[in-house]
Homo-oligomer: A and B are copies of this chain.
Amino acid sequence: MQFGGGAVAIDVYEAVKTSIVQGELLPGQRLTEEFLSNTLGVSRTPVREAMKRLEADGLVTPIKRRGVVVRSFTREDVQQIYDIRALLEGFAAGHAALHRTDEQLGQMHHAVSQYERCLTARIHRRQHVHDIMRCNNLFHQLIHASAHNPHLTFMIGKVIVLPLVFRSFYWYNTLEIAGSLEEHKHILRAIACQDVEWATAAMRSHIYRGRDHVLAHISDLATSITDAPLKPGE
């Protein structure tokens, strides 16, 4: 009825989530059901369900009887979340070192090669940033899968949205990307020779470097959409 033939109802959850991650919806912005249903061309019911899910993800926070606002993260949030992420991803890397199959190891090698190709295709303009992000995500996901603990994968997925929100890769320069690639190689080597401690430590170090990168740039956009009229505590 509403959309051109064939297109079934769009997924509200995915639509809003990507809008937040891509920065089209800014932290602090209020989202009313009516606004979203108008924008997306669906009724309020599916919008409500999507909001419930986004709340569970921690991407939006509910305001009593007044809908939700896009969540804003403080420096402290970043530090705390990255602590957890380092813990979980380090654990995952350690288990991956133990439990990886040879096929998975090959896939990791491939992911690193791809990463390298993206990098040598230099001139990292926006479009290439996206490719690099894909390669990076692929590598990490392969490690999560190799840990053979679906619950762990699930938990990591929860803490991984934050760096997405900050879109930290947009601020990487070529040198920093090369550094990240080197770290991936270290991790890969540790997993290849099944050295649990090394893999764990290398991954943790890698994560903390990512954290510091975010912290270094957070002042750029940590402030929410409305700086002036703001009630801090709630």
Residues of B within 8 Å of A56, CB to CB, are 52-53, 56-57
Whether A152 lies near B58 (C-beta < 8 A) is: no
Closest Cβ neighbor of A149 among chain B residues: B80
CA separation between A45 and B46, bound complex, in Å? Answer: 11
Size of interface on A: residues with Cβ below 8 Å to B: 32
Closest Cβ neighbor of A68 among chain B residues: B4
Closest Cβ neighbor of A154 among chain B residues: B58
Whether A61 lies near B2 (C-beta < 8 A) is: yes
Closest Cβ neighbor of A63 among chain B residues: B4
Residues of B within 8 Å of A62, CB to CB, are 4
Closest Cβ neighbor of A79 among chain B residues: B149
Binds B, one of A82-90, A106-114, A130-138, A223-231: A82-90
Closest Cβ neighbor of A150 among chain B residues: B80
Q: Could you tell me the dominant secondary structure of chain A's interface residues?
A: helix
- Whether a CB of chain B sits under 8 angstroms from the CB of A77 is yes
Residues of B within 8 Å of A151, CB to CB, are 77, 80-81, 84, 159
CB distance from A201 to the nearest CB of B (A): 15
- Whether a CB of chain B sits under 8 angstroms from the CB of A124 is no
CB distance from A23 to the nearest CB of B (A): 22
Contact of A83 among B52, B58, B84, B149 (CB under 8 A): B149
A92-120: CB near B (< 8 Å → 1, else 0) gives 00000000000000000000000000000
Residues of B within 8 Å of A45, CB to CB, are 45
CA separation between A52 and B81, bound complex, in Å? Answer: 24
Whether A83 lies near B152 (C-beta < 8 A) is: yes
CA separation between A150 and B144, bound complex, in Å? Answer: 24
22 A–B contacts from the bound complex (CB under 8 Å): A1-B61, A2-B61, A4-B55, A4-B62, A6-B64, A45-B45, A52-B52, A56-B56, A56-B57, A77-B151, A80-B151, A80-B152, A81-B151, A83-B149, A84-B88, A84-B91, A84-B151, A84-B152, A87-B87, A87-B88, A87-B91, A155-B158
Q: Top 9 nearest A-B pairs by Cβ distance?
A: A56-B56, A4-B62, A80-B149, A52-B52, A80-B151, A49-B52, A81-B151, A2-B58, A87-B91
